[in-house]
Each structure stands twice: as structure tokens, then as C-alpha cells.
Structure 1
Amino acid sequence: MLQVHEIQENKEEYIKALSKRGLDVSETFDKVLAADSLRRSTQAKLDETLAQSNSYSKEIGKLFQTGETEKANALKERTVTLKETSKILSEQLSAASEELQLLLYTIPNIPHKLVPAGTDENDNEETFREGEIPTLDTEALPHWELAKKYDIIDFELGVKITGAGFPVYKGKGARLQRALISYFLDKNIEAGYTEFQVPHMVNEASGFGTGQLPDKEGQMYHITADDLYLIPTAEVPVTNMFRGDLLMHNELPITCTGYTPCFRREAGSYGAHVRGLNRLHQFDKVEIVRIEHPDASYEALDGMVEHVKGILRELKLPYRILRLCGGDLGFTSALTYDFEVFSTAQDRWLEISSVSNFETFQANRLKLRFKDSDGKNQLVHTLNGSALALPRVLAGILENCQTPNGIKIPEVLVPYCGFDIID
């Protein structure tokens, strides 16, 4: 979330930067500044009224002590009026502050200078590509057909139990899923990330802290009786572990990883692009989160990108990296790199990871600060990335590694799952 003083100091620059997202925020900025002006003037009036009331209270006491009862009672009548005025001003201040906060919640993060302008995924920039796309047999199948053929994922059984988008993994499919989770966690731990097991439900404050609320409220499963939300990603509970903290500069960076199931209510659509594992309402993901000094966050982002590259190299999956354009950039992100694996059987790229720097956007909502070497409190930078999301990685393995004799398991996963082929 932007701060008012940032908008005041950089108004025209921010308007231009947010135009990369296809937004004209000039009117919103004017409303923010007007709301802040009203809030400050109301606060000044309230402070003045309270000060006058306190002054009268002291004077009344002195007058009673000196026997000037008539003057004291006259001042008491004035304090009654001042208390009524202060109550009205307090209500007006609360309303003005709430209006300002709601306005600020509607403004997305300022795109980094590297973010290209654009309206949708077609304007994203490819920055890297690696891996040889395999040539498959003419009889090659998409992963949903392979899942049925080898009886490793049952989509219809998931519909019976819950509904569309909730698959059931079976036998070697379940073991491969578990192997991927363990492998991703081990790779992250080896890279210096500390593993956490976190709740799969969060409160409203956590949703606001990382920016899922109010922007993505309709995409989250809401447990109304307890006012809790099923998490859309481990980023939410992991980052919120530090909500409200004041860290010391020598505690940075803080690096975390965690596995969780993820739940998303995203509106469904039809067609091959959402079949099988391509889009689910419940899926597994291993996440990495970093709390960084502002001066080090973009170097950290580059390191996260290299880390995900290393995992995909070991899996020997063909992949590419995209720098997201303004129109495809997440609400909270300043700069995002998407990783996509090529699905040979579907002849299309599948997104498997997003690695993002949020700069101070989340930290401001979280009130997450650090004390620098000069003793000054500053907002940290927060970053997160998928390392990795499982459904489409699994789809890529099934489709790209299929042979006439079965599905060959990437060598690096064999020690984790205990078999080298699904047949």
C-alpha cells in the first residue's frame, strides 16, 4: 500500500508509472490528497478542542479552590459544549481516516522501471529460455489421458467427493506428488531457507496484510462462521508471521520456505487450457519468502530467479522466463518474473512459478519495519516465489517424459519416490 506522503512527493511520476498497468489514477490521487487534507484539518480541530477542554478543566479546579463557584460553573457549561464538539469531531475524523484508507487500498503497487507497458499476457517479455523440447511419439497423450491410462490421478472421483478442480492422486501419482514436495523443500533448505509449517486458514488482518483483501476477496474461500479464509498460497501466513514486527538491520535477510495446500475460488471456464491439472481449486505448492533490506531486494530477486532455474534444470524440463507487463502484473507486485514449462503433449506453455518483489507495498500494510544502522525505522521489502507449484510441474513431467513404455521419472526424483517409471 502506498503512503500519502509518497503520493504527495511523487504524484506525476506515479501517475505515469501506473499508466503501464493501463490505469489513470489521477482522479484517485486527487481524492486521496483531499481525504488526507480533511483528515489532517479535522485532527487539528479535535486537538485544539481537546486542549481547550483540558485547559478549562484545570481552570475550573482552581476556581472552585478559590471559591469562585459561579465562574467555575460557567466554564463547566462550556466544557459540556466542547465535549459534544469533540465527540462529533472524533466521529468525523474516524470517517475521514476510513475513507482515506479505503482509497489507498484501491491503488496497486507502482511498477518497477523494468516492467514493460502492456495490457495482457501477450505483452509480457521473454527474458530467458532453456531446455530442449522433446519430440514425442505421434501417439503421445495429454496428462489427463495419461492419468487415466496409468490410474494415477482420478478427476472424476474428486468431482464425486467435492466438485470440479479437486483431483484425487492415487498410487504412484500420490507418491510422485509427495516426492516433488519433499524435493522442493530440500532444495530450498539447502539454499538457506528455513522451513515452516503454517496454518492453512488466516484471519482478515492477514489477508489485508499481504494484499489479498480487499483486491482478491472473491477468489478466496471464506469461512463465514469464524470469519477466516482458506489460504490461496503459503505466502499469506508465512509473511504475516512478521506482521507488526520491528526488526534489527542485522536480522535481515529473513528467508522462509513452506509447503501448503492452496485454495482458490477462481471462476472456471471450459476448454483444454483448463483441463486436468491446468487449473484447480485446490493444489499443492512450496513457497519461498524473503524479508529484505531495501538496498538488497533486487539482488535477492535475481537470486530467487536463479534458484528456480536450478530446480528446473535438475528436473530437465524445458522452460522460459517472462517479465510481466504492467497489465498482467499482480496488484501488490512491483516486478514479477513468471516461469513457464513447455507441455509438449498440449503444445503450450504452462505457468509454474511467479517470483516477485513487492518492495514496501506489503510491509506498509503489515507495519513491518526494521531499525537501520542509524537507528531510524524503515519499511522492509518483501519478496516471494513459487518453488514450485506442483500441478503444472507434474503435468509437464507426465507429458514430456512419456515414452511408449511408460512415464520416465526425472533422475533427481527417483530417490524421493522410489521408482523410475510409471507403467
Structure 2
Amino acid sequence: MGRSVDPPLSMSTSDASTPASADRSLRGLLFLLATIAGVSVANIYYNQPLLDNFRQSFPGSASWVGTVPAVTQLGYAAGMLLLAPLGDRFDRRRLILLQIAGMCAALVVAAAAPTLAVLIVASLAIGVLATIAQQAVPFAAELAPPSERGHAVGMVMSGLLLGILLARTASGVIAQYFGWRAVFGASVVALLALAVVIILRLPKSQPTSTLPYGKLLVSMWHLLVEHRALREASLTGAALFAAFSIFWSVLALLLAGAPFHLGPQAAGLFGIVGAAGAMAAPLAGKFADRRGPRAIITVSIALVALAFVVFGASARSIAGLVVGVIVLDIGVQAAQISNQSRIYALKPDARSRVNTVYMVAYFIGGALGSGVGAVAWPAFGWLGVSVAGLVFAGLAAWNHLRLPSRGASG
């Protein structure tokens, strides 16, 4: 009788008839959102193990193959700024499905690319559209009750992190047996299967803003000015991701030299070790719900600082590096979940825009960290890299502790 066949944003009436059934329904939706985040963000990283394959396929443009991952990351940053805020203006399920359709088209072009230039253009589009993940995370914050928001965000972020960690491994295996073009084809199949599940299971969301697109973008600046907690969380997150990026941008160089003499595959295996951080994400969310996110962020910053102390003493120790990676990933991811739990409570009708402000700052921090690592390594060696990471952890601590937050911002 005029009602939509789609379930509402929360649980349907039948699902919500008992607390247990409502809880099961919420868990199922969060698992779906975690899968959406992981499968979509993985597309940014599939091309990184394939650079030598690209060089062989396009020998006339071999010197430009490094542009492929660079433009993919650039596209992701642009997509966060230009597409992610639309989640406040339109139904997120529809946006996710539209971006999946566009992503499949871009992946088909990449798989069939006759020249490197075509592959580069397709990779830029893939990066822009991979921001599907930035619709999934605020969607989880909407679906969950306030008392469980941190856990919900943590669960979806764990899916996103696993997508990042496992993308390179999956890409390398598929390329080894079926060629690099099959990697993009396999992603199309995975996304189409996911789209079917989304149509059947994911509810619609209700837009929370009627602002025109231009004003929607401008409003992000106003949110940053209005909410000190958003500024604080953004700077803290950027500093910690800078520290994280310093380590990962230089690790392969450390492992290639004495006494290790290990290839890039070894650095990739450290990513599997980093899965501990992804597994810790839901736990961090639960603690943030119970004890408050600021307390968890304080502990997280301490863990990141400890990791770089361990790194500084582990220039010749694989075991020490493994321990440091586990501590670093747990610290960074726990802080990420807690920061996002904080900012989503600031302005519920602008969660996509708040998330965009935070994530743009976060990736700027990552780029800065990679740049500092590139300078510190040749000038000061591994000890200099470790000290630089410790300095960024100290910046995060100063920013986080200098003024106690008030009210909802904490």
C-alpha cells in the first residue's frame, strides 16, 4: 500500500520483535558492511604487486609504471573529498550500488587496457570509486545504537583493514597463475556478487541533509571550525598515521640490506602479521563504548610510541620487528576506531562529511610520514626512522592531552 519494499534504516519490525533477533540482524548488517568496505578498498592495492607485470606488458612505457599506484591513491583522496560527503545527501545503499557499477566498468577497462596510458586513466577512476568504503563506515554508525557505536565502527573497520592487508597477497597469487589482467576480472566478479547481496540485504538510509552539492562541500570547512574535537581527532589521527607510514614506507629497504638480504615478499608477509591490528579493531570499539574513546586513544598513543622504541632496538632482529609491527598496528587501529567513534557523535546528521574531514587529514598525515621516511632513511638510517616515528607519536600525545575535551566531544 505505497510502502517501500526495502527495509528501513534500522531493523525491520519482525527482526526487532525481540532483543536477540534485533542483535542478530544488526550483526549481519555490520558483517555485510565490513565485507563491502574490505572488498572495495582492496582495489586500491591490487596493482602494487603487479608493477613488474605492467613493465613486461608495456615495455615502451616501462618508466611510467610507478604512476599506476600513485594515481590510484590520488583518485582515492579525490573520491573521499568529492564523493564521500554525498552520504549525508542521498541514500547510502544507492550510492554504494552506483559506485560498484562504476567500479566494475573501470576494472573492465583496466583488465583490457591496450596501453599503459589507458591503464593509468582506469586506475584513477578505480581510486575515486573505491571510496565505497567511506560510505560503509558511517552507515555502521547510523545503524548501531549509541551505546554500541564504537563496536560497530570497529567491526566494519576490521573488514576494511583485512581488505588492505590481504589485497596484495590475493593479487600476487592470481597474477602468478592467471596473469595480471585476471586480477581485475576477479574483482569484477566479487563486486557483482556483493551487489546482489546488497540489493537483497542492505537497508536504505535516510538522507540527513538537503544542502546542494556545492554547499555540502563548503559545510565541511564550517564543521572543522565549529568542532574542536574534530580538529583534535583529525590531527591526532594524522600524526599516528604519519608514524605508521614512516615504518611501512622504509621496511622493505631495511629488509633488503644487511643482515637480512630479503626481497619485497618478506615485507608483504609483515602485512599478514599486521592482521593483529585488524582483529583488535572490534575490541577497541567495545572498550571505547565502555570507558570512553579518549582513554583508549591515550593508551593507543603509548603503544605507538612503544613500537618505535622496539623498532629502534631491532635493526638486526626479525623477531623484534614482528613484535613492533603487532604493537604498532594495534595502537594505530585502536586510536582510529576511538577517534571515529568520537567524531560520529558530534553531528549525527553530518556523519559522512565529518568522516571526510577526518579521513582527508588522516591521508595527508600518511603522505607526510612517507615523505619524512624517504628523507630520514638515507640521511640517518633505521635509527633516524625510528626517532621520526617517535616524534610523530609525541605530536599526537601533545595534541591529545593538551586540553581535555568537554561534553560530547570527548
Band of TM-score, shorter chain: under 0.3
Between Structure 1 and Structure 2, the one with more strand by share is 1
What is the TM-score of this pair, normalised by structure 1? 0.23
Relative contact order (C-alpha < 8 Å, sep 6+): which is higher? 2
What is the TM-score of this pair, normalised by structure 2? 0.24
